[in-house]
A = this chain, B = another copy of it.
Amino acid sequence: MRLHEIARHLHANAPETDPEITGIASLDTAGRQDLSFVTDARRAPEAARCPAAALLVGEDFPALPAGGPALLRVPSPALAVAAAVSLLRPPWRPEPGVDPSARIHPSARLGVRCHVGAYAVIGADCVLGDDVVLHPHVVLYPNVRAGNRLLAHAHAVIREGTQLGDDVILQPGVVLGGDGFGFATDAQHHHVKIPQVGHVVIGDQVEIQANSCVDRASLEATVIGRGTKVDNLTQIGHNCRLGEDVLICAQVGLAGSTNIEDQALLAGQVGVAGHCTVGRGAIITAQSGTHGDLAAGKMFSGSPAFEHRQWLRATAVFARLGDLQRELRELRAALATRASG
């Protein structure tokens, strides 16, 4: 594809040259026919030496010496990279068609142009939209509803009654609607199962990544709002409510009835205890945990978590806590000497 055509697609300025572009690659590995990208102005010297035909850069990126790559200036290089990859290296996806080995219940209904892979199972009363892709071995229990363009990778499991919006993506091994961890303990310390008969509701444009789990509600619904993205190996307990455009990084654990408001960001391995609310746009840094509510728009760290800047100070002191104790002892000794002196 010609560079001018790419520039037009990305709403970038028209560059002075118009070479043929065959791929997109990072600054370190790009070749002469590649488009590449750079956001950090400190990497301008590397950018100048990069053999790439052109670079996606921000509007304030410094000019490069003549002979270097052409620059495509865009307001958001990250968004432009997303568009350029779709253009230059569209991900593989299977053609429409239903594999003869797919087991589709006679009462299930599928839209047009769907792909159903080998050994996929679609239970009774499922209703799926158009352009759905189910890779091999996806299992839909009865009564699953999904919108258009559901993309479910191999071995994803969607249990009975789950509802999904449009443009949902499930990476391999995702489990939607597994039973929540709900037990009542009797006088003999036996844990009696509370049947988990609620369901899971997933909004439009949600992506849930590999081997993550979203438990069905005990009675009503576990809800994930539109546009929320959930990384690998994440646990979302029963009755949780996640807002829109939330980012949940890998291995996060949300106990039951957690409430995460819109645009919050939970970094890797964060834990939130049950019945807590994390406010709109709050950021929780990696490995932090909370058993209380966290305010909107602020950054939190630590386990238990508190305000991030205060935590930075605390951890700096923590590392020299051995010294602090020694200093305190010396002071006390000095004072005792003085007193007896």
A61 within 8 A of B: no
Which residue from chain B places its CB closest to the CB of A239 in the assembled complex?
B26
Q: Chain B nearest CB: distance from A151 CB in Å?
A: 10
> Interface with B: A5-13, A106-114, A126-134, A180-188, which one?
A180-188
Q: Are A268 and B253 in contact (CB under 8 A)?
A: yes
A325 within 8 A of B: yes
Which residue from chain B places its CB closest to the CB of A99 in the assembled complex?
B103
The answer to whether A121 and B121 touch (CB under 8 A), given A171-B175, A304-B315, is no
A251 within 8 A of B: yes
10 pairs of residues in contact across A and B, judged by CB atoms under 8 Å: A81-B194, A155-B155, A157-B172, A172-B178, A213-B232, A251-B251, A314-B321, A321-B321, A334-B335, A335-B335
Q: Chain B nearest CB: distance from A204 CB in Å?
A: 11
Q: Tell me the interface secondary structure of chain A in the complex.
A: loop
How far is B321's CA from A213's CA once the two chains are assembled, in angstroms?
Answer: 37
A86 within 8 A of B: yes
Q: Are B235 and A91 in contact (CB under 8 A)?
A: no
Q: Are B251 and A191 in contact (CB under 8 A)?
A: no
Within 8 A of B (CB), among A63-113: 76, 78-79, 81-82, 85-86, 89-92, 99, 101, 103
How far is B135's CA from A190's CA once the two chains are assembled, in angstroms?
Answer: 27
Neighbouring B residues of A233 by C-beta, 8 Å: 211, 213, 233, 235, 251, 253
Q: Chain B nearest CB: distance from A2 CB in Å?
A: 21
The answer to whether A306 and B335 touch (CB under 8 A), given A82-B184, A213-B211, A237-B250, is no
Q: Chain B nearest CB: distance from A189 CB in Å?
A: 5
Integer count of this chain's copies in the complex: 3
The answer to whether A160 and B92 touch (CB under 8 A), given A194-B85, A247-B191, is yes
A296 within 8 A of B: no
Q: Are A173 and B157 in contact (CB under 8 A)?
A: yes
Binding site for B on A (CB under 8 A): 24-26, 29, 76, 78-79, 81-82, 85-86, 89-92, 99, 101, 103, 117-119, 121, 135-137, 139, 141-142, 153-155, 157, 159-160, 169, 171-173, 175, 178-179, 181, 183-186, 189-197, 205, 207, 209-211, 213, 215, 218-220, 227, 229, 231-233, 235, 237, 245, 247, 249-251, 253, 255, 262-263, 267-269, 271, 273, 286-287, 289, 291, 302-304, 306, 310-311, 313-322, 324-325, 327-328, 331-332, 334-335, 338-339
Neighbouring B residues of A179 by C-beta, 8 Å: 169, 171, 207, 209
How far is B112's CA from A225's CA once the two chains are assembled, in angstroms?
Answer: 44
How far is B137's CA from A339's CA once the two chains are assembled, in angstroms?
Answer: 79
